[in-house]
Amino acid sequence: MAASARDGRCPWAGDDPLYVAYHDGEWGVPSADERHLFELLVLEGFQAGLSWRTILGKREAFRRAFAGFEPARVARFGAADVRRLLADAGIVRNRGKIEAAIRNARAVVALRREGGSLAALAWATVGGTPRVNRRRRLADVPAVTPESAALSKALRARGFGFVGPTTMQAFQQAVGMVNDHLVGCPRHAACAAAARKFRPPAGLDSRPEIPEKRASKASRE
């Protein structure tokens, strides 16, 4: 299926106002903002096994519950915070995902102590330059790429959790490391223009190993 004949958007955006706003204003726009990257990393992890619509609908509650996704603040969460989060009906109350989000915050803080950053580590997997794809159908978009597998491997080595290759493919699409808007979608050109202006984060000086074997193509969900 190509881009929607009605408005040109990628078909997954549909008519849902939350999806449309996310598609038109955020998805695919290159970002090196550390807080934003951490937010999307955590939210994509919580999405595992659920619909992205569920996560978008709870996003503001997640922001309140997780201290605005400031890694340094989340890294200080303890057992009382885990109990608080498990009792918060506004978010996804999954102990494994909650504890992983806290561990991930601590891993970000550890990166910073070493002089690195989540942004530098993540963007290294695409060489610091957004990948502008030219896909015409959703069926052409892979669920996993060598770059998403490399990011998953790099993050896991640092102690991050819920960062499998499929989840990292969704993350890389969301934060504009790859532009997977279909070519018939107006946002493809807009995100490509943003990619040309993008400057890689400081400290990006090497590229994690990229697996040679490419995964089979599949839809995002």
Contacts for 218 with CB less than 8 Å, ≥ 6 apart: 142, 143, 144
> How many DSSP H helices and E strands does the chain contain?
11, 2
Active site residues: 22, 44, 52
Nearest to 97 by CA among 80, 82, 119, 107: 82
Contacts for 58 with CB less than 8 Å, ≥ 6 apart: 90, 91, 92
Nearest to 9 by CA among 194, 192, 218, 188: 188
**How many residues are there in the chain?**
221
Structure tokens at 185: 């979608």
